[in-house]
Amino acid sequence: MSRRVLVLNGPNLGRLGSREPDVYGSTSYEGLVDACRTLGAELGLDVEVRETNDEGELIRWLHEAADGALPVVLNPGAFTHYSYAMRDAAAQRTAPLIEVHLSNPYAREEFRHTSVVAAVASGTVAGFGIGSYRLALRALAERLAG
């Protein structure tokens, strides 16, 4: 039986492949979804990938995860730096939550150096493009098995 995992993506992640490919890579959002589902299946995880530009919707998904003890891979996008409401929802987690970023926020503009989520996450993976999601899913599978 597979363990259900949510991969939650915040604003602008649906624009992957066309949005600043020099920063975020050329893989499309559909490519990200396929990569997460494929690796998830290999790891015995039933991966559901979602994307929203709406802060309230992302918060509702985090509540759903907390209520269902669902592990989460979270790319909050720009919400990373200022959404205390999202941070508070993530803090209610009842299963591992791994923060991911395609780029390395510390190698970018100074406002990106702060994550309000990092302190309530199980861990953070950043700077490896789509590989950040693969690393996060592998870490999650290890943590769930251990």
Helix (H) or strand (E) holding 6: strand 3-9
Three state DSSP letters for 39-88: HHHHCCEEEEEEECCCHHHHHHHHHHHHHHCCCEEEECHHHHHCCHHHHH
Active site (annotated) includes residue 24: yes
Query: Is 26 assigned a ligand-binding role in the annotation?
Result: no
Is there a binding annotation on residue 18? no
63 has binding-site annotation: no
> DSSP string spanning 14-26?
GGTTTS-HHHH-S
Active-site option among 63, 82, 101, 106: 101
Looking at the DSSP assignment, which residues form a beta bridge with residue 120?
none
Cα gap 37→30, rounded to integer Å: 11
Strand partners, 47: 5
> Has 113 been labeled as part of a binding site?
no
Contact 78, 52 (CB under 8 A): no
- Whether residue 53 is annotated as binding a ligand: the answer is no
103 assigned ligand-binding residue: yes
Active site residues: 24, 101
Binding-site annotation, residues for substrate: 75, 81, 88, 102-103, 112
